[in-house]
Structure 1
């Protein structure tokens, strides 16, 4: 999935609760770090979050948000690695209040959980993008869980993308709701693209292809949903004849 496809998928999901949660998570990530270089990204040793780091860095430059530009923390960077790929675990040990750690993990081994626990004790804010099947929920201040078994985004008949109806008590924004993977409409990889977009967006709405902020990405009526879905399918497989 490239950036254009990610933005079309963002538009497709614009009126769903999943995108609302992703935007809120991204906004919290954007505002939690006070200085450039203070947003740290880490994953399991065998799955370092290269792609999300690159996406966030691009969005940070595009939106002129230097504090959103991430630092990839690696488990064993080679001695000859470029500067931006040479940051090791010592950076986690130096994390402090006013900085943030985003953990990107489909699985979270004990070695990773221990590092995250130490960073939290040092006063940094912990964010996690996971599958809902890790133990990060007990460590993260904010967590967005995605069902990693999902490969396609298809709206159900009522247009909710599998989400239950809104809770009149407001539970949709509760801590437990953030930690629930139920109804996630995108794959783990797609969620990383969407999170990078959400983190750079202002509260006034998403950007169009030219970078201009828009008040809304669309309507949930059937015609609008079908139109947006058709645009996404055209990008993925080409327009139908």
Structure 2
């Protein structure tokens, strides 16, 4: 049962207290703490949470005794409520997505730091329909971006990168080549940019510290075309892998 409770947001202590009370049928806070090995300094906070959420009920005032409510009903009700909340959230997101598509066209934004950069990369990669090109330096990435690029390849998106290939970068290069990314060897200490679907442009500005890293994001077909043409010229000259 503990894995189910964890998925529903129970902490280790809360799950242990609830399961212990189910086994004991009825018990005082001290008895629950003893059998569940929850510190006495935490047990009242844990039981208060379970009580407020409706997972347990108080059946005696003096001494205080709790009884667990039937998990089949209380957990089932919790799941049902969450499904309803998610359905409402999905409807709100669908409305939000349509609003964003109208607002974002022709936008310009500056993102500071790698965390924000990666979040934007993932969002753009998910909605790429035809092409993705870029000039990179460190091949810095994470597992989720690789998975999203693989999914894009499966959607017939053409992905091409220019970047330095050496002993340090080879593992990252091979990871992308395995699922169909086209890569050529190219080294430039200054140029770092990417273009998606001939309409979304990212220009990377490297700083000394990771938190100072900045990237410019522009949704403009004219500017994107200029950088796209520049990339194509470099692609012709770059060394095949």
TM-score (norm 1): 0.26
Larger radius of gyration between Structure 1 and Structure 2: 2
The structure in which a higher percent of residues are strand is 2
The structure in which a higher percent of residues are helix is 2
Q: Which has the higher contact order (CA 8 A, sep 6+)?
A: 1
TM-score (norm 2): 0.26
